[in-house]
Amino acid sequence: MACGGIREQNAARIIEQTGVKEIHTGLRSAANPPEDQARPKISLGTVAGLEYQGFQVREEDVRRLRRAVDLVRV
């Protein structure tokens, strides 16, 4: 299984060059926390405000990666 830095731009090349049958990717994108969870005046020792930064996986990113991978012939 290949993993680490795999994105739609490089997934096909990684699969073609290595012959892996599976990939693991973290397609997370930054997302703002809900208003009731935001605490902009509190710092937990990191860059102010980033400790409450959330992440999400967007459907369109998964679809683009899937299209790139589906074109590979191993």
Q: How far is CA 30 from CA 34, 52, 54, 55, in A?
A: 13, 11, 6, 5
Q: Is this prediction's pTM over 0.95? A: no
Residues 31, 50 contacting (CB under 8 angstroms): no
Phi and psi at 23, nearest 5°, equal: -130, 155
- Chain mean pLDDT for the chain: 81
29-53 tens-digit pLDDT? 888 766 666 555 655 555 555 556 6
Phi and psi at 57, nearest 5°, equal: -105, 120
pLDDT of amino acid 56? 87
